[in-house]
C-alpha cells in the first residue's frame, strides 16, 4: 500500500498500548502518522523514532483531547506538517480505580466523560471538517476505540468507564449515518481484556491474568491484535464497512 492510498492519520493517545501499536502498523502500511500524547513525550518520541527508522513519516502532537483549544491547535499542526488528513483513530481514554457507583465523585465521572466522550467528539468534529466532501475534503475514515465494557457494564469496577464507552458506541452509529454520503466511514473497535498499561492505571495490574478464565479463548489479547482490526477499518479493504462495532475480545 503506498502513501497515495492512505494519507495523514492522527492517532490520539498514540504513545502507548493500542495507540502505539496502531501508529506503528499504520506507518508500515503507508500512513503518515501524527502520534498524540498528553504528558508522556518520551513514549510518543519512541513511537515516532521507530516509524522513522523503518522509513515512515511521523510527528508527535501534544494535546489534551478534552480541551477544545488544544484540539484545535493539534489539528492545525497536523495540517501544517502532514497535509491532508484522511484518517483518525480516537484512542485516547482513561479508567479510574475500582469503585462502586455510590463511591464515585462528580469530578471522577466528569473526567471520564470529558476524555473518553467529549474528546472523541471534538477530534471527530475537526476530522469531519477536513475529510468531508461537503467541506471540500476527499473523504476518509474514523475509528473510535470503544470497549467490550460498553456491553458488559463493569459492575463493581468502573461503571462510569463502561457508560462512557457506551456513549462512544452510540456516537459511532450516529456519526457514521450522518457522514456516510460525504466520503467518510466511521466504525469502532471494542477491545476486551488486552495486555496494556491501562489496567495498572486503574489499580488492577493483574486484571488480564485474573479474568482470562472468563474469556472463551482463555487468554488476554495483545495491542497488536487490536491494531490489526483498527488499521483494516481505516483501509480501502474496508471500503463498504461503516457503522460497525467490531468486537476484538476473544469471544467475551
The long-range contacts involving 171-180, CB below 8 angstroms and separated by at least 24 positions, are 171/117, 171/120, 171/121, 171/124, 171/144, 172/144, 172/146, 172/243, 172/245, 173/243, 173/245, 175/124, 175/128, 175/142, 176/242, 176/243, 177/243, 179/128, 179/132, 180/242, 180/243
Give per-residue burial for 201-233: e unless 16+ CB within 10 Å, then b: ebebeebbeeebeebeeeebbebebbbbbbbbb
Told to judge if 161 belongs to the known catalytic residues of this protein, a careful annotator would answer: yes
Catalytic residue among 93, 161, 226, 247: 161
Catalytic positions, written as ranges: 161
Amino acid at each position: 500500500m503506498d502513501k497515495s492510498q492512505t494519507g495523514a492519520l492522527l492517532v490520539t493517545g498514540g504513545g502507548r498500548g493500542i495507540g502505539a501499536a496502531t501508529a506503528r502498523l499504520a506507518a508500515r502500511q503507508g500512513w503518515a502518522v501524527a502520534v498524540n500524547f498528553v504528558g508522556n513525550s518520551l513514549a510518543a518520541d519512541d513511537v515516532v523514532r521507530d516509524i522513522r527508522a523503518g522509513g515512515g513519516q511521523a510527528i508527535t502532537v501534544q494535546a489534551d483531547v478534552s480541551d477544545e483549544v488544544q484540539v484545535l491547535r493539534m489539528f492545525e499542526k497536523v495540517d501544517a506538517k502532514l497535509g491532508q488528513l484522511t484518517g483518525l483513530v480516537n484512542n485516547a481514554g482513561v479508567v479510574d480505580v475500582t469503585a462502586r457507583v455510590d463511591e464515585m465523585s462528580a469530578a471522577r465521572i466528569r473526567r471520564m466523560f470529558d476524555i473518553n466522550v467529549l474528546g472523541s467528539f471534538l477530534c471527530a468534529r475537526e476530522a469531519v471538517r477536513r475529510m468531508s466532501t461537503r467541506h471540500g475534503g476527499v473523504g476518509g475514515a474514523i475509528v473510535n476505540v470503544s470497549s467490550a465494557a460498553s456491553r458488559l457494564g463493569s459492575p463493581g469496577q468502573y461503571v462510569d468507564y463502561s457508560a462512557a464507552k457506551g456513549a462512544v458506541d452510540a456516537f459511532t452509529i450516529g456519526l457514521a449515518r450522518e457522514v456516510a454520503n460525504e466520503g467518510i466511514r466511521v466504525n469502532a473497535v471494542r477491545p476486551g481484556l488486552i495486555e496494556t498499561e491501562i489496567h495498572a492505571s486503574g489499580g488492577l495490574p493483574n486484571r488480564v491474568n485474573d479474568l482470562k478464565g472468563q474469556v472463551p479463548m482463555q487468554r488476554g489479547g495483545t495491542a497488536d491484535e487490536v491494531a490489526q482490526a483498527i488499521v483494516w477499518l481505516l483501509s480501502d479493504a474496508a471500503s463498504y464497512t461503516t457503522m460497525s462495532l467490531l468486537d476484538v475480545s476473544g469471544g467475551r
